[in-house]
Structure 1
Amino acid sequence: MGYYVTVESSVKLYVEDINPEGSKIIVFLHGWPLSHKQFEYQFNVLPAMGYRCIGIDWRGFGKSDKPESGYNFNRLADDIRTVVDVLQLDNFTLVGHSTGGAIAIRYMSRYNSFGVSNLVLVDAAAPIGFTPETATRFLTLALNDRPKMMREVIDSFFFQYITSSFSEWFFQLGLQAAGWSTAAIIITLRDEKLYADLQKILVPTLIVHGVHDKVIPFAQAQEINQKIKNSQLVPFHYSGHGSFWEERDKFNQLLGQFIG
């Protein structure tokens, strides 16, 4: 079922809550500039295995409200904390992909891992996000030709072949975002760093990263593996930036094994 949670005056986040009676909870944070729907191929499988799957659209993206401000990691982490409080979530696994991984890391450090028993970072945009050069290119496109920007995102996203139909679906997910929120996150990814956050993460952490990732290099996954004490890195050898889809069967099985 889907519903809205108020996180700030006049700002509501959309939450997809699948199998609310599930015995174990997984909270999913999508990547930029997508929505919770990117995890469709997890939501197809994991609830039937007994998991409660909660997908949150960050402010500015998907079905959530799209205010003009609030797109730094602190505010985005605060939004997640509010959802956790309102839904009274505890002992849950937090899964973050790409920029969602960066938000998850900030949540862990800012709130001392509140409620989180396990952390899963998928092709995470950490400890840094975009280089200044990449940010400048995407920002220019976001402000002048956002559909072209989204096509470029897709072109660099996957290692495996994707059909034109799948590409169009992914394209539309990205265009659900507001132009201003799309641009604001690019600036956040350029300017904010997460080095200090990593050492504060103490829960068991699974790091999944595509070896062929052109968006966030695999070397960054190796770096965060070194800096998060209780972490393990699992390379996905047939994936780029979309390991949750490109090797979805392996991903879903690994996630289930990790959570237990």
Structure 2
Amino acid sequence: MEKIAFVAMRFESDPWRDKKYLAISDVLIEAGFKAVRADEIRTSGVSMDEVTHYLQNADLVVVDLSGQSLNVSYELGFCHGIGRNPEGVILLCKEGVDIPFNYAHYRHNMYRDLRHLRTTLRYRLGISTPLTDDQLGYAFSFTDLSRTYGATVAEAVLDSLQAMNFTGRCEYYAGDTLPGLYVVGLAVKGDSRRQKSDDRWWMKLRQLVAKNLDESESTCRLDEILSEYAEVRAFRQQLMPRGVAEFTDGHPKQLLRPAEEDSWFSWAILDRLQHGQE
């Protein structure tokens, strides 16, 4: 079921081109939400009734107070008036803007510019920033492909990350680069306080992936000679993005941009998330 995030803010330009709104909505989409603002509501009812419906029922309400708008203040006051759970309301404000005393004591997520806004909102939503093009990942090459090799490889990778108690962001890319050769590009951003994705880490992961495939019923195998380090830039240019997920202690915590990824990796993540909640 699609999650809804209602965005309350004062637009600085054409709402369809407002850079601040686009930055907010991009991060919300990445976190699996559909971003909605008042002028996008497509019903014929009373406008404020529709707005208050979203303020009361949306999975998340994001309020940017930088524009010091009376409408935005009303919408925030409505959230407080109905006793909406504070965890379901994110308050944003640009540094240097005076916050009215009525709600100055609430937790505000301050930002300096659009780049910092994205980082701040990602942090509040519990998701990390994407890896940069020049960061190193690892290209796993697979041969002896079985009929469902995509699913087999995805499960082997997830089992390996679980065995290593991985915590952080994992970007998954894949493609059939040559006949009979399937390549998966993994790019990770681990929790630096607990682990580093150095050479030793990658070699252990590679061994686990190979071991999991050897123990499976599939004929698919890891070709260790053709597997090698590569920049994330190469994955994005030569392979297809097949999913991004956040992990905690080896277990998927959240699938990012779920609406965009129709892949074995994303399906495996969603399956584990579902069974983990049962």
Question: TM class, shorter-chain normalised?
Answer: 0.3 to 0.5
**Higher strand share goes to which structure?**
2
**Higher helix share goes to which structure?**
1
Larger radius of gyration: 2
- TM, length-normalised to structure 2: 0.33
- TM, length-normalised to structure 1: 0.35
